[in-house]
Structure 1
Amino acid sequence: MKNKLLISVLAATTLFSCNTTKKSEVLTDSGLNPAHFEIEIDSVKTGLFVLKNKNKMEVCVTNFGGRIVSIMVPDKDGAMRDVVLGFPSIQDYIDNPSNFGATIGRYANRIKNGKFTLEGTEYQLPQNNYGHCLHGELKGFQDVMFNVDEIKDNEIKLTYHAKDGEEGFPGNTTCSVTMHLTDDNAIELSYEAETDKPTIINMTNHSYFNLDGDPSKDNSEYLLTINADSYTPVDSTFMTTGEIASVKNTPMDFREPTKLGDRMDLDDEQIENGHGIDHNWVLNTKGDINKICASLKSANTGIKLDVYTTEPGIQVYTGNFLDGTQTGKNNIIYQFRASVCLETQKYPDSPNKPLWPSCVLLPGEKYSSHTIFKFSAEK
């Protein structure tokens, strides 16, 4: 269980916005009430920040967990649809611990047994997932308050100062994410970090995409494409084995557009270990931000999401642990596999696998990572 947050509700009179002050009763295009995002956590005010572009695309962000709360994009008929899971208030995020839309850190994904050694010192992290450390929890970045450093009509910069020893990680580390909405319907995510002591860093975004704009439907009809010839197999505790395996002649071969439903329930050890798909792919793009690393498409709405990244890997998670116990925006119950997560990252457990791309950040260096979620609509 995550640590409970000490929360004091503040009577808010000012609406946090990316452009000008508005009345709290004015809803966003996605139907969110900004007043429901106005409280105080750990002495920092929370708010809902609305980014827009010339195409009327809308992205709503909160500084609690650096979360994307909603993304409104046009479908093939021009209708606007909200394509991510989330909750309608900050209190709902507190009462229903989740990674919906969150900025993940310090280390996204799993670290074996919650341990790693850096420059001769062994560090013990929380063991919150099958004995491993997952997403930096017990209280990872998804549960902290980010400061709003910059805000524009189409951009927001959020910063968090992680203390030395926080959740077991070394180094006072300043981490930031800048979310920029472009006029070609792309969300550019730029991560940076600096530290005063050798540490590890691996940040990502954990949006749960439902390209139907209808979370009552599962993802079985979605077409997934991954630009990768290999992936990192996992054991029954979701931990990478250390092997980099070819996708050829396996259910993990998504080099051509493939229906998710054709793969997720096959009689295959890796599918069983992941309870579906919950794996990291070794990208052929090799950090080239100009090359598509993965694509997801709904034939129903025509909405397509292309992903670009400077990272070496991408974790694809198909919502296998959604179980109908969480009710999100518009009172829709989030059922089994109602979404797909596309988490750009270093490979899982990289701190314990020295031959894999390094996640080490040293004093005087700057961690930099860039990911783009680009939306389009096809007939």
Structure 2
Amino acid sequence: MVTHTDLRREDFSATIDGKPVDLFTLRNGRGMVARITNYGAKIEQILVPDRDGALGDVVQGYDGIAGVMGGQASMGSFIGRYCGRIDGGRFTLDGVAHQAAVNSPPNTLHGGQRGSRFRVFDARQIDGASLELTYVFQDGEEGVPGTLPLRLVYSLGDDDALTIAWTAVAADRTTIANFTDHTFFNLSGDLGSSILDHVATIPARRYLALSDSGVPTGEMVEVAGTPHDFRAPTALGARIGADDRMLRQGHGYDLHYVTDGPAEGATGQAPVLQARFLHPASGRTLEVLSTEPGLQLYTGNFLEGKAPRDVGKGGILYTKHSGFCAEPSKFPNSVNIPSFWTSFPSTVLRPGQWTTGSIVYRFGVA
């Protein structure tokens, strides 16, 4: 039994900013499928089986490039050059103050007004299970100094894992870099249904406290005794309505956890488990592994079921809490918080310095 909307390559064919846009299909030897467009390096579809073997689509996305461009900007995107928020869009490098483009007043969010989620990547399908995407952030782009070439490789393994691996280098000037993936998941295969029945496990004992504008302040808060403690398996909806400032401010979970992962995403370093999700009815599971020191949990709080922005594949409306994101990265706003750099990697790159990392989405059944 197959339950999903077929995506057609021709519906994603376009020329944007003078560059060709396409839809690329990856398959492994077990029947898993991932479809990715090079506009924003967005994951538009992932097909995996449930416990009965029924293949279902477990990520929210759109039927064609028009929907992608008019839809939720972050949905499925690879986020750069700097994911999360930068306080006021301001930061200082080598004594020089910089002002990045403010697109979520008063802050810069997910790379600014035209970060990587709005850019066309150069694409090369390496083989049937892997895709290379490249983009060069220019010196001064979105108000950020330094040329930063970025290379991504998406690959499917026969363990039903999709790996996103990146390398980037500060080509000329001191710059900043912080990357993540912003795929919206719904393991039920019914992409308009609530994800509040999904059971989450996040092995983290601390989270980053946020200012009133949603920017990390530098304080780390213990999860014990709070609605943010997912160290034991807990349904996403079990405490989402609790009287808690972070939940009220985010209209649900939108919080960065300090995971028990590695302190640095060094070349060759193996990713470690940062979160596990289970949809009890279908049996589908998702394990999120990464080289990064933190994980943002977001429960689709600003999906609103509005046309055309939230009309997804097959005409499904994406409503509040119909998708969740698990976004590994270095800490948001850490460019402005030197205390984060003592035990965790900085997001500042000096000329000639490389940054590497990876995110693994591994699917299974319970």
TM-score (norm 2): 0.93
Count of residue pairs the alignment pairs up: 351
Amino acid at match of 1:314: L
For residues 355 and 312 of structure 2, the distance between their equivalents in structure 1, rounded to whole angstroms, comes to 34
TM-fit CA distance, 1:291: 3.0
CA contact (8 A) 1:215 1:335 kept: no
Pairing partner for 1:260 from 236, 239, 252: 236
| Contact 1:110 1:133 survives alignment (8 Å) | yes
Alpha-carbon deviation of 1:219? 1.1
The residue aligned with 1:141 is 116
Aligned CA RMSD, in angstroms, stands at 1.4
Q: Equivalent residue for 1:361? A: 349
Task: Kindly state the Cα deviation for residue 150 of structure 1 after the two structures are TM-superposed.
Answer: 4.5
2:117 aligned counterpart, secondary structure: helix
1:314 aligns with 2:298: no
Deviation at 1:93, TM superposition (A): 1.3
Mapped to 2, the partners of 1:267 and 1:130 lie a distance apart of 26
| Aligned equivalents of 2:311, 2:69: Cα separation in 1 | 13
Contact 1:319 1:337 in 2 (8 A): yes
- 1:223 pairs, out of 194, 199, 217, with 199
Compute the displacement of 1:290 (Å): 4.9
Relative contact order (alpha carbons < 8 A, sep ≥ 6): 1 or 2 greater? 2
Superposed, which structure 2 residues align to 1:150-169 within 5 Å? 150-169=125-144
Moved over 6 A (4+): none
SS at match of 1:208: coil
* Structure 2 match to 1:345: 329
Residues 214-264 of structure 1: per-residue CA shift (max 9 Å, x gap): 122111111011111101021332111221011110111100110111121
Q: For 2:69 and 2:222, how far apart are their aligned partners in 1?
A: 41
- Secondary structure of the residue that 1:108 maps to in structure 2? coil
Please show how residues 77-116 of structure 1 align to structure 2 within 5 Å: 77-116=52-91
8 Å Cα contact 1:30-1:70 kept in structure 2: no
For the Cα contact (< 8 Å) 2:255–2:296, is it kept in 1?
yes
Alignment of 1:57-72 (within 5 A): 57-72=32-47
- Tell me if 1:327 matches 2:311: yes
Question: Within 2, Cα distance between the matches of 1:345 and 1:125?
Answer: 20
Q: 1: distance between equivalents of 2:271 and 2:182? A: 22
Residue in 2 that maps onto 1:16: none
Q: Secondary structure at the match of 1:314?
A: strand
Partner of 2:223: 247
Distance 2:329 2:221 in 1: 18
2:273 pairs with one of 280, 284, 292: 292
Secondary structure of 1:323's aligned partner: coil
Percent of pairs with identical residues = 37
Cα deviation for residue 127 of structure 1 reads 1.6
Which of 29, 50, 73 does residue 75 from structure 1 map onto?
50
Point out where structure 2 has 5 or more consecutive residues left out of the alignment.
264-268
Instruction: Find the residue that maps to 1:142 and give its secondary structure.
Output: helix
Q: 1:260-317: CA deviations, max 9, x gaps?
A: 1112111111211221100000011225735311011100111110011110000010
Paired position in structure 2 for 1:279: 255
Query: Is 1:48 aligned to 2:23, yes or no?
Result: yes
TM-score, normalised with respect to structure 1: 0.90
Q: Does 1:372 align with 2:360?
A: yes
Structure 1: 5+ residue stretches without partners: 1-27
